[in-house]
Structure 1
Amino acid sequence: MKNLSRLLFAMLLVFGFSNTYAQDENNPWAIGFGVNAVDFYPNGDGAPFGEGFGDEYFNVGDHWNILPSLSTISVARHITGGLSFGVTGSINKIENYGEESVSDLSYYGLDGTFKYGFLNTSVFNPFVGVGGGYTWVDEIGAGTINGSLGFNVWFTDNIGLTLQSSYKHAFEDYLDSHFQHSAGITIKFGGKDTDKDGVYDKNDACPDVFGLAMFNGCPDTDGDGIEDSKDSCPNEAGTAEFNGCPDTDGDGVADPDDACPEVAGLKELNGCPDADGDGVADGDDKCPNEAGPAENNGCPWPDKDGDTVIDKDDKCPDIPGTVANNGCPELSEAVQKSLNEYAKTILFDTGKSSIKAHSEEVLKNIIDILKEYPNAKFTVEGHTDSSGSDSLNMKLSESRALSVKDYLVKNGIDEFRLSSKGYGETKPIDSNKTRAGRANNRRVEINLVK
């Protein structure tokens, strides 16, 4: 009990050390339990590495003193990288003191060691150590300087087997230098994992939120393999192509950007379909199965007269015409000729511009023709023979042309479509030397304005 009390006292001193040390970056403390063996036969005349030094290093039966119970306890904390500092307390009973046999001498050791470990991320972790301490044999103590070699074999992240061999060189003649070997279990602890996700806070990019090791402790709420911080849809499983968002209808437009997420559509229409291919999404298309322009809500423009000129561009929407004439009928040469055949038969009172009553039937035929071409414009031209003065003939032709124009306007022809002009005797179509020729020259013509 006396020996155990001393060992426990030594451990209390160990636990009182400053917490500025660390065992590793995530588990700041490590405690070890095991057994130790003391060998007072390093030889070499007490000088390390002298002749014969370590010749009987493995002579367990003749030189090793082993206490077959818990005889070593250690506590350590890491400083930086692979460097740590630890304190070890040990007890033993000495029966072999070099080449001599003694009677159960007590052995106590309290040692501080700086260790440098290699391959710290590996299951196998070798280390070297240097330090010093104080050793008592039969209650007589002396200081030592120590050098150590050993390795850890980690069964888990926190539990491992530690094997170590130290050479303890004594400063006093009354204590011989010796080897001390130890084997035991080391347990690392003290790592902080606030969110309990198995990733220590030091390495946890999201220390307050339960996460996954593959994302440095950050969560992937929807389980799509994209961590929430990089996931545009953290609560809906998606694909990397769409930054973690789904594409329910498989049209290549992510659901948040898809105006029609349940129906496959076109990217240029924000994921909505266009059944008739007119560039107007079906939801906005009043004629989804007939192609039409957007300005007509996706419906084809009407063409009431069927002349292939749509009504909005058709200046004669109710009368079939030609594209060249903006949907209005074109006056053919035959119709123009027929129009003037009628016009030639309009008769006036002699020397006057008043139209004779029996010309009304002819004028009615002219009006019917003009109404068939509602977009066409015409000039009413008056002509005379050479009888009389030029000035009187000019005035007479002008007044007769105007008289015909006024008649047409009063009977339903838009005034803006008509103009009138007199040419007098300047444009004869026959000889003025004969009665028949002069009769032909006295005429009215109605010509299309081109």
Structure 2
Amino acid sequence: MKYFKTTLLVILLIMGTASLVAQDKNNTWLIGIGTNAIDFYPTNANLNGHGRWFDEFVNTKDHYNILASVSKLTIGKYLTDGFSIEGAASLNRISKVGDNSESNMSYVSLDGAVKYDLNEAFGETSWFDPYATIGGGYTWMDDFGIGTFNGGVGFNVWFNEKFGLNIESKYKHTFESNIVQHFQHSLGFVLKFGGNDRDGDTIYDKYDACPDVFGLVEYNGCPDADGDGVIDSKDDCPSVAGLEELNGCPDTDGDGITDKDDACPNNKGTKANNGCPDTDGDGVVDKDDACPNVSGPSLNKGCPWPDTDGDGVLDKDDKCINEVGPASNNGCPKITETEVAKLEELFKTVYFDTGKTTFKSETISKLDEAARIMVKYSTEKFTISGHTDSVGSKSRNQELSDSRAQAVKNYLITKGVSSGNLTAKGYGEEMPIASNNTVKGRAQNRRVDVKLID
């Protein structure tokens, strides 16, 4: 009785652990049914009619006790890191104890065990799943019973994600002599279940990129409401089919500008004119141009008007009356490609201290030179983008990159650049220009870039 109580306590402690461990893999429950064989022969060399360890280990004809029916039931629960717990009940009829014959004694056992998936040590395999097991239980033969300490090995052969074949050999060591040590072999089928699918789209949460929203298999469980091949979370126009290169938005006239941003969605135009055409290139789009085929100033509805420098901007509106410049720049010259390139090179040398918005000392002179160019072209507008290395969390890096871009903008303003000509935005760690695995690379990634806004 004391061994029964001890064994029962061990099993209850093992089973109780299951309620304390949250699921962390799909199909965490397992049930199995099968048949079992009891062999007393190769474990009791000191007893008459028995052999030494593992003698005639697979002599099924002479030593195995097999009940030709479903005689074993198993239920298991996955824990974590390859470990699971298992409870098993089995029955048999004993007619052979070694080379000795018996009068068909009944055999009943209840066992609990901890199992370890050997794939955790050997490397994952898709269909072959070996394991080791250790535990204890209680065994009855006719009207007497005894506690056992059990250890064994086995494997599952999976036919698909849930259903497979199980083969196991387990040694049972008894604590008293009325039931001698023995092996229990089993063969059966196992079924895994319990996978989570919160959104009901048949894709388990583990593999679902959008586990809380019903989606499609081809998009890893994410939805695409308009069927344009761009999932809703990345689609700027989720209700209207569009183009992948335009983030899921349509472009009816094919000018590369989405309809929602296109002032002339049915007429091919340019980005500078918000998607509208300007046939005569006078800065007045055709729909507003009274002379669409002849260049003229906008104040005269696109028709010719006095213009000293002939740049298409009326003298009264031309802030650089003797210098040719586009209407979009109030008649003043645009910054040259050479100087734009110079600005981009200067900004490549703007570096930050790790985790901070402070500049490294060598970057100050670069920012000063960049400010002088921007002040010279007072009508040009620029966008400043901030970037970080990968040290720290993504949310922290996003916040840091925003702050760094704003720090550069604020510094340029102190040097005379108009705040209205500058915009600043951070992109976190998403756009590295060097490896984040080296100190030098991370320093290069802590940077800002500048682009001219056309």
TM-score scaled to structure 1, two decimals?
0.58
Query: How much has 1:14 moved relative to structure 2?
Result: 12
Determine the structure 1 residue equivalent to 2:81. Answer: 81
Determine the structure 1 residue equivalent to 2:254. Answer: 250
Structure-2 change in CA distance of 1:80 and 1:296 (3 Å): same
Matched-pair contact (CA < 8 Å) for 2:15–2:85: no
Structure-2 change in CA distance of 1:300 and 1:143 (3 Å): same
Matched-pair contact (CA < 8 Å) for 1:23–1:30: no
**Using the alignment, how far apart are the partners of 1:208 and 1:58 within structure 2?**
52
Say whether 1:171 aligns with 2:178. no
Matched-pair contact (CA < 8 Å) for 1:22–1:29: no
Worse-matched range after superposition: 51-60 or 97-106: 51-60
Structure 1 unmatched runs, 5+:
1-12, 314-450
**Using the alignment, how far apart are the partners of 2:94 and 2:13 within structure 1?**
25
Query: How much has 1:77 moved relative to structure 2?
Result: 0.9
For 2:144, which of 140, 144, 150 is the aligned residue?
Answer: 140
**Using the alignment, how far apart are the partners of 1:292 and 1:116 within structure 2?**
83
Determine the structure 1 residue equivalent to 2:98. Answer: 98
Determine the structure 2 residue equivalent to 1:33. Answer: 33
Determine the structure 2 residue equivalent to 1:217. Answer: 221
Deviations 1:348-367 (A, max 9, x none): xxxxxxxxxxxxxxxxxxxx
Determine the structure 1 residue equivalent to 2:279. Answer: 275
Worse-matched range after superposition: 226-235 or 140-149: 226-235
Q: Secondary structure at the match of 1:268?
A: helix
Determine the structure 1 residue equivalent to 2:128. Answer: 124
Structure-2 change in CA distance of 1:75 and 1:182 (3 Å): same
Deviations 1:215-236 (A, max 9, x none): 5533232334433222212223
**Using the alignment, how far apart are the partners of 2:211 and 2:125 within structure 1?**
22
For 1:300, which of 288, 294, 304 is the aligned residue?
Answer: 304
Query: How much has 1:213 moved relative to structure 2?
Result: 4.9
**Using the alignment, how far apart are the partners of 1:78 and 1:92 within structure 2?**
28
Q: Structure 1 counterpart of 2:72, which letter?
A: T
Q: Structure 2 counterpart of 1:149, which letter?
A: V
Query: How much has 1:173 moved relative to structure 2?
Result: 1.4
Deviations 1:98-132 (A, max 9, x none): 12222211111111011111446722221111111
Say whether 1:67 aligns with 2:51. no
**Using the alignment, how far apart are the partners of 1:81 and 1:145 within structure 2?**
24
Higher Rg: 1
Matched-pair contact (CA < 8 Å) for 1:292–1:300: yes
Matched-pair contact (CA < 8 Å) for 1:46–1:177: no
Structure-2 change in CA distance of 1:15 and 1:206 (3 Å): farther
Determine the structure 1 residue equivalent to 2:288. Answer: 284
Matched-pair contact (CA < 8 Å) for 2:41–2:55: no
Determine the structure 2 residue equivalent to 1:112. Answer: 112
Q: Secondary structure at the match of 1:42?
A: helix
**Using the alignment, how far apart are the partners of 2:288 and 2:235 within structure 1?**
32
For 2:191, which of 181, 187, 202 is the aligned residue?
Answer: 187
Identity level (%): 54
Matched-pair contact (CA < 8 Å) for 1:87–1:111: yes
Deviations 1:294-319 (A, max 9, x none): 2322223389xxxx9x9x88xxxxxx
Determine the structure 2 residue equivalent to 1:55. Answer: 55
Query: How much has 1:92 moved relative to structure 2?
Result: 1.0
Query: How much has 1:24 moved relative to structure 2?
Result: 6.5
Q: Secondary structure at the match of 1:62?
A: helix
**Using the alignment, how far apart are the partners of 1:145 and 1:233 within structure 2?**
65
Structure-2 change in CA distance of 1:15 and 1:168 (3 Å): closer
Structure-2 change in CA distance of 1:28 and 1:45 (3 Å): same
Matched-pair contact (CA < 8 Å) for 1:46–1:176: no
Query: How much has 1:73 moved relative to structure 2?
Result: 0.7
Q: Structure 2 counterpart of 1:287, which letter?
A: C
Structure 2 unmatched runs, 5+:
1-11, 316-454
Worse-matched range after superposition: 194-203 or 89-98: 194-203
Query: How much has 1:196 moved relative to structure 2?
Result: 1.2
Matched-pair contact (CA < 8 Å) for 1:105–1:137: yes
Matches for 1:329-348 after TM superposition, within 5 Å: none
Q: Secondary structure at the match of 2:149?
A: strand
Structure-2 change in CA distance of 1:24 and 1:59 (3 Å): farther
Q: Secondary structure at the match of 2:96?
A: strand
Determine the structure 1 residue equivalent to 2:166. Answer: 162
Q: Secondary structure at the match of 2:43?
A: coil
Query: How much has 1:90 moved relative to structure 2?
Result: 0.5
Q: Secondary structure at the match of 1:144?
A: strand
**Using the alignment, how far apart are the partners of 2:61 and 2:281 within structure 1?**
96
Matches for 1:367-406 after TM superposition, within 5 Å: none
Determine the structure 1 residue equivalent to 2:370. Answer: none
